Chains A and B, each alone.
Chain A
Amino acid sequence: MTPNTSAPSRRSFLASTAVAAAAVAGGMPLLSACGGSQEGRKDGTTSGKDAAKILPAYVASDVVAPDIPAKNGSAAGFTKAIPTAELKTSVAKKMGSGGKLTILSPFFGTPPKTGNPYYKAMNEAIGVEVTWQNQDGVTYDQKLGAVLAGSNIPDVVTVPGWNLMGRIPSALNAKFADLGPYLSGDKVKDYPNLAAVPTEAWQRGIFGGQLRAIPMPAPNVTDIAPMYRVDLFKEKGYSVPTSPDEFLSWAKEATDAKSKLWACDDMKWSAFHIFGCLSGSDKALWWNMDGGKLINRIETEEYLEALEWTRKLYAAKVVHPEAVQGKATGSSGNRFTAGQVLVYNNNISDWWGKTAEQATQNPDFEMGAFDFFGPDGGDPTLWAGQPANIFTFISKKATEAQIKDFLALCNFCAAPYGTKEFMLTAYGVEGIDYEIKDGLPVKTTQGVNEVNGAYDYTGNPAPYVAYPDFPEVTKGIVEWQQRMGAFTKKSSFFGLTVTEPNRWANLADDFEQLEDDAVRGRKKISDVQQAVADWKSKGGDDLRDWYKKLLDDNGSAN
């Protein structure tokens, strides 16, 4: 195979035809022959000294001291409202040039109309004319692939970490701009709010060796919480279950299909936490060093146990029938607020979202999150999520002026609690979207509908929970994070953003739908085991070696 010795020439059209022809004739194993060298491809990760060169400097911001300081990897909590007159200014002058940006972003809920007062006020304050392309967040993965494969990519694209499947990471490296020239080192000081973003979040923004993403800083503690209807629990005299078995027997008792009431929605995500399964939110977190060997979450007993328990819930018919249908129909949150399910799991910020939404519609509504329990009802073993897991990118085709506008936008949205910018971003326009009642900002119906979702991912300060209108929710969320944080461990690749080589990128693509089939009883747990065996032989074991080498070269971040 002489033509194969010069790797780069294989990329060219004619030479590669010759190679292919020769290889077909000889019956060579082709992928292994061609995929050997990956020069110029940005797979792997960046950490240590290499990362230090491009990471932005950190300048803490201390506008308001939190009422509940961060602990155990939790967010900081702000429970007190700041009177309008005392709000500080973190963006002294309008930084945008008046240019235009189109932003593709996931949206959980119903997007508001374009040109609403909130959007207008934000555009005016930042000096950037934003056109939102809000897409359903639940099926965002399907949209994202199609958009990135096309040539007409919006200026700014938000990508959640759980959508970084298949070749999406390599698409991001190819299509989005390096922000290093604008943010690395002291340059970030032009954008003081971005300079206050924690370094571990920025570390996650390094894609393919360059600082490409504005990260959304997140607490290390898992963002998925099991939440329950406190009001309905009280009414029926239920107490919160404290073990998987107890949950199952409670669920059977609580389900009353005749009156359209089911105990829970799909609980797969919670099950993974209860049974101590490695985090599934980011592909690198799937791996952990255990007894000198890297183990993937899908190879663990915990993974199978979690699926088996979830399967039992479905088999006992305590899960809402529409949850069986999956993503396509209605969201679990709506079934929860409608009182058709008593327990569901979601991002814990939903605690505030649903409480605020229902405050105007159902005054009796009360919800809470309950603590994860271990498989036997004892303390759980939880695995840390990434310190940032939602990223916002700007297209490589953007002009310098557009990139500066983008950074102006992110800097504005990253304003900390206690600033005018924060109030506008989080609560909207005073008098339209919210009103001050008894010293507290309270969203109007218009505010609930409009100030919701957009601007959530385009720049954020260090992890915080600040809902002065619902101080008990703020307290509840932060304390839940602190309690769960005490049980949280970090796996080997915590804090790193890893781009897998193309040839293995698609290996684990279909596990999610396999899990969904298994818990719904359409596939057996043994089918999952078979899929894991296939995964190993089709490249999983090679991928393990690749990750092992990455770990040896870069060292663990924790």
Chain B
Amino acid sequence: MSHSTVPRSRAEAKTPAEDPATPDGAGRRFRSRSRSRSRDEQRRGKLSLRLRFKRDRTLILMTLPAVLLLLVFNYVPILGNVVAFQDYDPYLSENGFVAIFQSPWIGFEQFERIFADSAFWHAVQNTFVLFFLQLVLFFPIPILLALLINSVVRPRVRALAQAIMYLPHFFSWVLVVTVFMQIFGGAGIIAQTLRRHGYEGFDLMTNPETFKYLVTLEMVWKDAGWGIIVFLAALSSVSNDLYEAAAMDGAGRWRRMWHITLPALRPVIALLLVLRVGDALTVGFEQLLLQRQAVGVAASDVLDTYVWWNGIRNQDFSYAAAAGLIKGFVGLALVLTANKVAHLMGEQGVYKK
């Protein structure tokens, strides 16, 4: 609040309409002006809805476009989930929306079909296996990389290392898969080199058993560098005084990391972990679709590709919508659980009641 003394006087001189008010400014203006009018309300510590609206209208106005976008692109489409309870045929009418009203209702039949489909359970299993692998093998890597980068003192080297690590994030999955194929494929560099030296070639790209590790490896290569950004930001907020004080007390490198760096990262790690668990059923789409034929459906099908394959490729929209709905509910349950666990561990989590 130290900066507010000067702007305050300027803000109060303006009419509310042209006021590009900072949150503090708006609140303060309200207090100063309404002191005489609504003293009673204020004494009770409660404001009427109208007054609160009046107070915050600039803020509300500012959020309106975002809320509108959220409504149009996130909430309205949710209504489309009704097709999960229909035998929906988008071609009953010129317009796919109108067709929703013309399609017959069939209750939970699509869900019964899904639960009886072994391919669905296979996709669920693959999804969870991939999620846990990613959690164990992928999640810690950006943290380690961030710690590593943070220990580099020379800014030039640091910038270079960061740039190299960020770069693969901007490659498309097609490119990543191709690069991996050129190296690990059956006719790739490693296989051909082995063959030239008299060994059997190997083909990591078409082995269904190791596919989950391959996918995780691709993911690490592509996105681990990008993932360090958040951790670096958290690390930069740690005061140097702490390190200096600890060093004065005779703490070595490891003790400083254990007692200062890691505790500083803890809230961020917890937050990202909760977010990741909430997103657990989203383990990659394009990457898996691209390699679907290489290892077969049994190894590569996850919930997202299952929904896509049935909904878009096979045009079985209701079935896919029902599968998507199941995914949504399981995802919700996971977020709630993860958040609860975070609270129990004394962390903030994503939200609080």
- B-binding residues in A (CB < 8 A): 10-13, 16-17, 19-21, 23-24, 30-31, 34-35, 141-142, 145-146, 148-151, 165-168, 170-171, 173-175, 257-258, 260, 320-322, 324-329, 340, 396, 502-503, 505-506, 509-510, 513-514, 516-517, 520, 522-523
The interface residues of chain B, by DSSP majority, are classed as helix
Q: Contact between A328 and B314 (Cβ–Cβ < 8 Å)?
A: no
Which chain A residues border B294 with CB–CB below 8 Å? 324-326, 328-329
Q: Contact between A324 and B186 (Cβ–Cβ < 8 Å)?
A: yes
The 8 A-B pairs at the shortest CB distance, nearest first, are namely: A321-B186, A326-B293, A20-B105, A174-B91, A167-B315, A325-B294, A522-B296, A166-B315
Q: Contact between B296 and A517 (Cβ–Cβ < 8 Å)?
A: yes
Query: Restricting to B294-317, which residues have a CB under 8 Å from any CB of A?
Result: 294-299, 310, 312-317
Can you list 20 residue pairs at the A/B interface with Cβ under 8 Å?
A17-B105, A20-B104, A21-B107, A31-B87, A31-B106, A34-B106, A141-B313, A149-B315, A150-B96, A151-B95, A167-B89, A322-B187, A324-B206, A326-B293, A329-B294, A502-B87, A506-B310, A522-B296, A522-B298, A522-B299
Nearest-Cβ distance from residue B179 to partner chain A, whole angstroms:
12
Q: Contact between A322 and B186 (Cβ–Cβ < 8 Å)?
A: yes
Nearest-Cβ distance from residue B216 to partner chain A, whole angstroms:
19
- B174 (CB) vs chain A CBs: closest residue: A328
Known: A149-B312, A506-B316. A523 touches B296 (CB 8 A): yes
In the assembled complex, B225 has its CB within 8 A of some CB on chain A = no
Q: Which residue of A30, A142, A173, A517 is within 8 Å of B106 (Cβ)? A: A30
Nearest-Cβ distance from residue B158 to partner chain A, whole angstroms:
37
Q: Contact between B312 and A146 (Cβ–Cβ < 8 Å)?
A: yes
Q: Contact between B297 and A517 (Cβ–Cβ < 8 Å)?
A: yes
Q: A171 to B103, alpha carbons, bound, how many Å?
A: 15
Q: A178 to B108, alpha carbons, bound, how many Å?
A: 37
Q: Contact between A165 and B87 (Cβ–Cβ < 8 Å)?
A: no
Which chain B residues border A520 with CB–CB below 8 Å? 206, 296
Which chain B residues border A19 with CB–CB below 8 Å? 104-105
In the assembled complex, B203 has its CB within 8 A of some CB on chain A = yes
Which chain B residues border A328 with CB–CB below 8 Å? 177, 290-294
Q: Contact between B181 and A329 (Cβ–Cβ < 8 Å)?
A: yes
Q: Which of B1-9, B149-157, B189-197, B260-268 contacts A (4 or more CB under 8 A)?
A: B189-197
Q: B310-353 CB contact bits vs A (8 Å, 1 = yes)?
A: 10111111010000000000000000000000000000000000
Q: Contact between A10 and B192 (Cβ–Cβ < 8 Å)?
A: no
Which chain A residues border B312 with CB–CB below 8 Å? 142, 145-146, 149
Query: Restricting to B76-112, which residues have a CB under 8 Å from any CB of A?
Result: 85, 87, 89-96, 101-109
Nearest-Cβ distance from residue A31 to partner chain B, whole angstroms:
6
Q: Contact between A31 and B187 (Cβ–Cβ < 8 Å)?
A: no
Q: Contact between B96 and A149 (Cβ–Cβ < 8 Å)?
A: yes
Q: Contact between A173 and B296 (Cβ–Cβ < 8 Å)?
A: no
Which chain A residues border B319 with CB–CB below 8 Å? 506
- A146 (CB) vs chain B CBs: closest residue: B312
Which chain A residues border B284 with CB–CB below 8 Å? none
Which chain A residues border B227 with CB–CB below 8 Å? none
Q: A12 to B104, alpha carbons, bound, how many Å?
A: 8
Q: Which residue of A23, A165, A522 is within 8 Å of B107 (Cβ)? A: A23
Nearest-Cβ distance from residue A33 to partner chain B, whole angstroms:
9
Which chain B residues border A329 with CB–CB below 8 Å? 177-178, 181, 294
Q: Contact between B315 and A171 (Cβ–Cβ < 8 Å)?
A: yes
In the assembled complex, B208 has its CB within 8 A of some CB on chain A = yes
Q: A260 to B189, alpha carbons, bound, how many Å?
A: 11
Known: A10-B104, A516-B293, A520-B296. A506 touches B109 (CB 8 A): no
- A-binding residues in B (CB < 8 A): 85, 87, 89-96, 101-109, 119, 177-178, 181, 185-187, 191-192, 195-196, 201, 203, 205-206, 208, 290-299, 310, 312-317, 319
Q: Which residue of B91, B105, B208, B316 is within 8 Å of A522 (Cβ)? A: B208
- A14 (CB) vs chain B CBs: closest residue: B101
Q: Contact between B316 and A396 (Cβ–Cβ < 8 Å)?
A: no
Contacts beyond the supplied A142-B313, A167-B316, A328-B293: 18 A-B pairs with Cβ under 8 Å: A10-B104, A13-B101, A16-B105, A23-B107, A30-B106, A149-B315, A170-B89, A171-B90, A173-B91, A260-B187, A260-B192, A321-B203, A325-B181, A325-B206, A327-B293, A502-B87, A513-B297, A522-B208
- A19 (CB) vs chain B CBs: closest residue: B105
Q: A149 to B315, alpha carbons, bound, how many Å?
A: 8
Q: Contact between A34 and B104 (Cβ–Cβ < 8 Å)?
A: yes
Nearest-Cβ distance from residue A108 to partner chain B, whole angstroms:
18
Nearest-Cβ distance from residue A515 to partner chain B, whole angstroms:
11
Q: A322 to B186, alpha carbons, bound, how many Å?
A: 7
Q: A16 to B101, alpha carbons, bound, how many Å?
A: 10
Q: A510 to B301, alpha carbons, bound, how many Å?
A: 13
Known: A257-B195, A516-B296. A30 touches B94 (CB 8 A): no
Q: A502 to B319, alpha carbons, bound, how many Å?
A: 13
Q: Contact between A24 and B108 (Cβ–Cβ < 8 Å)?
A: yes
Nearest-Cβ distance from residue B184 to partner chain A, whole angstroms:
11
Q: A142 to B89, alpha carbons, bound, how many Å?
A: 18
Q: Contact between B187 and A320 (Cβ–Cβ < 8 Å)?
A: yes
- B104 (CB) vs chain A CBs: closest residue: A34
Which chain B residues border A20 with CB–CB below 8 Å? 85, 104-107
Known: A517-B298, A520-B206. A325 touches B313 (CB 8 A): no
Which chain A residues border B192 with CB–CB below 8 Å? 258, 260
Nearest-Cβ distance from residue B296 to partner chain A, whole angstroms:
4
- A328 (CB) vs chain B CBs: closest residue: B290
Which chain A residues border B93 with CB–CB below 8 Å? 174
Q: A437 to B187, alpha carbons, bound, how many Å?
A: 41
Q: A359 to B314, alpha carbons, bound, how many Å?
A: 41
Nearest-Cβ distance from residue B317 to partner chain A, whole angstroms:
7
Nearest-Cβ distance from residue A155 to partner chain B, whole angstroms:
15
Q: Contact between A522 and B295 (Cβ–Cβ < 8 Å)?
A: yes
Q: A21 to B192, alpha carbons, bound, how many Å?
A: 63
Which chain B residues border A165 with CB–CB below 8 Å? 314
Nearest-Cβ distance from residue B153 to partner chain A, whole angstroms:
44
Q: A285 to B85, alpha carbons, bound, how many Å?
A: 34
Q: A324 to B196, alpha carbons, bound, how many Å?
A: 21
Which chain A residues border B185 with CB–CB below 8 Å? 321-322, 325
Q: A21 to B191, alpha carbons, bound, how many Å?
A: 60
Q: Contact between B91 and A170 (Cβ–Cβ < 8 Å)?
A: yes
Which chain A residues border B293 with CB–CB below 8 Å? 325-328, 513, 516
Which chain A residues border B186 with CB–CB below 8 Å? 320-322, 324
Which chain B residues border A506 with CB–CB below 8 Å? 310, 314-316, 319
Which chain B residues border A31 with CB–CB below 8 Å? 87, 106, 109
Nearest-Cβ distance from residue A301 to partner chain B, whole angstroms:
24
